[in-house]
Amino acid sequence: MNKNKITCQAINQVGTTNQSIILDIIYKPISIDTYRNQLNNSSITLVNEGESIELECHVDLSPSSLITWIFNEEIILFNQTSLKIDYVQSMQH
């Protein structure tokens, strides 16, 4: 399996907070089917390779904050409350 960390980070002048999940991307071996898990409230989410996923980040704070999405320690999206990945793929192929 291929584990990837995605973090939503909110920053304002008062401080910083973040929440992370681990995407555990599963992919099928030749001629073997994969098991499909349902999304849940766990910090680890199984996603079949080739599927899409949308993640939401809602922050309750005042004043407003800057939302940052971080994938494996690299910033990938600024100031968006949702992140959509259209085609999840393993980086181990």
Give pLDDT tens digits for 5-43.
888 888 888 899 888 888 877 765 433 332 333 334 556
Q: Residues near 49 by Cβ (< 8 Å), separated by ≥ 6?
A: 25, 26, 27, 28, 34, 88, 89, 90
In this structure, the dihedral spanned by the alpha carbons of residues 14, 4, 83 and 40, taken in order and rounded to 10 degrees, is -90
Give pLDDT tens digits for 43-79.
677 788 888 888 887 776 666 677 888 888 888 887 8
pTM metric for this prediction: 0.56
pLDDT band for 91, please (50, 70, 90 cuts): low
Long-range CB pairs of 70-78 (<8 Å, 24+ gap) are: 70/5, 70/6, 70/7, 70/8, 70/9, 70/18, 71/4, 71/5, 71/6, 71/7, 72/4, 72/5, 73/5
Measure the CA–CA gap between 71 and 4, rounded to whole angstroms.
Answer: 7
Measure the CA–CA gap between 8 and 57, rounded to whole angstroms.
Answer: 6
